[in-house]
A and B are shown apart, each in its own frame.
Chain A
Amino acid sequence: AQKVTQAQTEISVVEKEDVTLDCVYETRDTTYYLFWYKQPPSGELVFLIRRNSFDEQNEISGRYSWNFQKSTSSFNFTITASQVVDSAVYFCALSVPIYNQGGKLIFGQGTELSVKP
């Protein structure tokens, strides 16, 4: 079975602080995808990143960076110099191949990030 754990339920930081959101996943599949989504109060899911299991390169996109480590089954997300607009709920998700269970997404519990001015 697949599982995603986001141990941090809520995080509160002051603007300009760096913050890391943890994500640990479980799967027996060797091929899988990992995602991060942002969910602002409006509810719509905003896609941030997709990473496949064969690509362990870390990625940086502006103030966002991701650290994928298969050895620890983790896919952590760091926001550098946080801003108030970063306040939202962030979800980590896992997907297995389409030929296995149709490619559905398994979401973590979410981390609510609050960035205070």
Chain B
Amino acid sequence: GAVVSQHPSWVICKSGTSVKIECRSLDFQATTMFWYRQFPKQSLMLMATSNEGSKATYEQGVEKDKFLINHASLTLSTLTVTSAHPEDSSFYICSARRVAEAFFGQGTRLTVV
């Protein structure tokens, strides 16, 4: 089956620094990828829709200047958390869509100290 690889699986960074998370579709081309965030004991909330070759579409309340999304190729989308703060600590998970299937990456646990 299709595989989506997300890297890194966990990262600890200092407050004020930026962190980049990669999401790759390994055996299919994904024109659309999605980025979700999950706080402890909560559901997955869609942050943005990443479209290859165009600007990402952000959900209401998500700061586009803080969460930079780049979808430069049909197999790679990146999420950069800029000037991270402790409140950005969360579980970030990407998803790539192929027809009616949604394939998820393994997730990235970000801790900002």
- Which A residues are closer than 8 A to B by beta carbons? 33, 35, 37, 43-45, 47, 50, 52, 91, 95, 98, 102-110
Contacts and interface: CB of A to CB of B under 8 A. Distances in A.
Interface in B63-111: 91, 93, 95, 97, 100-104, 106-107, 109
Interface in B6-62: 32, 34, 38, 42-46, 49, 51, 57
23 contacts: A43-B91, A43-B106, A43-B107, A44-B104, A44-B107, A45-B44, A45-B93, A50-B100, A50-B101, A91-B43, A95-B102, A102-B32, A102-B49, A102-B51, A103-B102, A104-B49, A105-B44, A105-B46, A105-B102, A107-B44, A109-B42, A110-B42, A110-B43
A108 B51 CA distance: 24
A95 B49 CA distance: 14
B44 A103 contact: no
